[in-house]
């Protein structure tokens, strides 16, 4: 039981690190983004641009992670945060989900 709890904490820490990397890329290109940790412990990134908002989560396990919207759209792997940041900006400018 202890091993599973440690793995879960390690995965949550990895997801948080990957979301913060995306947060950095979004802020670098001028998008308003806010990283939050809700009560359930899963970090999420809230992005706002021109009156439109989107929520992004980092999903995955065992070394394979991806960025996913709250609506379930797969944005890309967590190894390419710059590409995902540009795609999110494109989505925000066109107001598409």
**d(Cα 61, Cα 27) in Å, to the nearest integer?**
26
pTM of the predicted model, to two decimals? 0.85
Q: What is the side-by-side strand order in the sheet with 64-69?
A: 32-36, 44-49, 52-61, 64-69, 74-77
From the centroid of its chain, how far is CA 97?
15
The pLDDT assigned to 96 comes to: 62
Q: What share of the chain is helix, strand, coil (3-state, %, to 5)?
A: 40, 30, 25
Q: What is the mean pLDDT of each successive set of 10 residues along the chain, which is 97 residues long? A: 64 90 94 88 88 90 88 91 93 78
Which one, of 20, 9, 15, 89, lies nearest residue 58 by Cα?
15
The pLDDT assigned to 66 comes to: 93
């Amino acid at each position: 039981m202890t091993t599973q709890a440690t793995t879960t904490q390690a995965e949550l820490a990895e997801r948080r690190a990957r979301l913060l990397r995306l947060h950095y890329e979004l802020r670098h290109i001028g998008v308003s983004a806010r990283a939050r940790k809700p009560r359930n412990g899963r970090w999420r990134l809230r992005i706002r641009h021109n009156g439109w908002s989107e929520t992004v989560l980092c999903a995955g396990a065992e070394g394979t992670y991806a960025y996913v919207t709250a609506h379930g759209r797969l944005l890309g792997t967590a190894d390419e945060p710059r590409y995902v940041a540009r795609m999110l900006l494109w989505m925000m400018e066109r107001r598409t989900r």
